[in-house]
Amino acid sequence: MSNKSNFFSSFATAVADLSGKPFTFVAALALVLVWAVSGPFFGYSETWQLVINTTTTIITFLMVFVLQNSQNRDGKALQAKLDELILTSQAANKFVGIEKLDESELREMSKTLAEKAECVEEKADEKSAAEAASA
């Protein structure tokens, strides 16, 4: 199972990297233009329309899973890096693992941090004003 998981992760990373390149956009745009130009040759038939609709739907459907896998791994890696920074600094260790809290707990922690940030901002403004007055 791990080998299949590694294969899919490698595949998802490669597809995500490739799909984000300008060349891929240009190629997709070129295909759409070729399809549009071919309309008169096919009489703008329902089959002609069905080709682009089906193709784009299938690609979009598959890309959702590929990109979600890539994004999930990136998010987990980022979270691990942040946890390491928290653990090796003088920051409060209570923030390690907060991504596992439920929505209400996260909102409450965010509210508390916003209040602390306002206090710090007020103190910084007071200090700036005091330095400006003494200068």
Residue with tokens 């956009």: 25
Cα 86 to Cα 72: distance, rounded to the nearest angstrom: 21
Cα 44 to Cα 40: distance, rounded to the nearest angstrom: 6
pLDDT in tens, the chain (135 residues): 567 778 988 898 899 899 999 999 999 999 999 999 999 999 999 999 999 999 999 999 999 999 999 899 898 899 888 888 888 888 777 778 888 888 888 888 888 888 888 888 888 888 888 888 886
CB-count burial class (<10 Å; 0-12, 13-18, 19+) for 70: buried
What pLDDT, on the 0 to 100 scale, is given for residue 113? 82
Cα 26 to Cα 32: distance, rounded to the nearest angstrom: 10
